[in-house]
Amino acid sequence: EDQVTQSPEALRLQEGESSSLNCSYTVSGLRGLFWYRQDPGKGPEFLFTLYSAGEEKEKERLKATLTKKESFLHITAPKPEDSATYLCAVQARGNQFYFGTGTSLTVIP
Amino acid sequence: DADVTQTPRNRITKTGKRIMLECSQTKGHDRMYWYRQDPGLGLRLIYYSFDVKDINKGEISDGYSVSRQAQAKFSLSLESAIPNQTALYFCATSDLSLETQYFGPGTRLLVL
């Protein structure tokens, strides 16, 4: 069964305190792994796509990595404006997308 | 102007009523999707369409139907709404080559 699990469910960081979010997946025929940011009351906003193990993508304070079974979203020296829910999704063979339940990140000034 | 728009943004209805949620996009994408989001369950795919003549069921299509009126428009209908269809509904589009999905602002639906 195709499945995406994110951990932790919630994370509180002090401003400047780096950390990582985890997305583990089991899927038949991974076509892509996606990271999104979602602010309260808004639709998810695309961050990264990763296609193969070993691939890395960076954007400002965020860096996404991919292995054969999981992906990490590393947040370096976070700021309060990085507070949001971060969603992971996988695209399986057959073109369906499966989302995790997200990690709610709060960065305290 | 937003690339993906949804109407209405909020809707309250009663059990048994038929309602329609609408999605329009100006991104020129062929692929469109409908999801629902529930606390603790994440986003779940209801239906998706790869072009005007192609409609596919997603993970949770029971109780829902869709219509792709044009490349830019994709509507979701609840034929007879029930309380457990109370959720936040999102429309999304994607480009054929990139697969990245772009989401609308969502419709918050409450079924009493």
B98 contact residues in A (CB cutoff 8 A): 49
- Kindly determine whether residue A44 and residue B45, on different chains, have CB atoms separated by under 8 Å: no
Q: How confident is the model at residue B78 (pLDDT cuts 50, 70, 90)?
A: very high
Q: Which of A5, A30, A99 to mutate to test the interface with B (most CBs of B within 10 A)?
A: A99
Q: Give pLDDT, residue B68.
A: 96
Amino acid B4: pLDDT = 96
Residue A41 is predicted with a pLDDT of 86
Classified as helix, coil or strand, B71 is: coil
Backbone φ and ψ of B61, nearest 5°: -85, -15
pLDDT confidence bin for A44, thresholds 50/70/90: very high
Give pLDDT, residue B66.
97
Rg of chain B (C-alpha set): 13
Q: Which residues of B touch A43 (CB under 8 A)?
A: 4, 90, 92, 103-106
Q: What is the mean pLDDT of residues A11-15?
A: 97
Residue B98 banded pLDDT, cuts 50, 70, 90: low
Interface of B with A in 30-49 (CB under 8 A): 33, 35, 40-45, 48
pLDDT at B70: 94
**A93 vs B9, which has greater pLDDT?**
B9
> Is 70 exceeded by the pLDDT of residue B22?
yes
Closest listed residue to residue A89, CA positions, set A41, A29, A48, A40? A48
- Chain B: residue nearest A101 by CA? B42
**Where does the pLDDT of residue B1 fall: very low under 50, low under 70, confident under 90, or very high at 90 and above?**
low
**Given a cut of 60, is residue A81 above it in pLDDT?**
yes
- What was the pLDDT predicted at A11? 97
What span, in angstroms and rounded, lies between the C-alpha atoms of A62 and B26? 29
Instruction: Locate B14 and state its tokens.
Output: 């009663």
Which residues, at least 6 apart from A32, have a Cβ–Cβ distance to it below 8 Å? A49, A50, A51, A90, A91, B99
CB environment B55-75: b (16+ within 10 A), e (fewer) = beebbebeebebebeebbebb
Which pLDDT score is estimated for B108?
Answer: 96
Provide the 8-state DSSP code for B52: T
Structure tokens at A100: 């995790």
B101, B102, B107, B108, best to mutate vs chain A, most A CBs in 10 Å:
B101
- Return the percentage of chain B with pLDDT > 90, whole number: 85
List pLDDT tens digits, range A59-72: 999 999 999 899 99
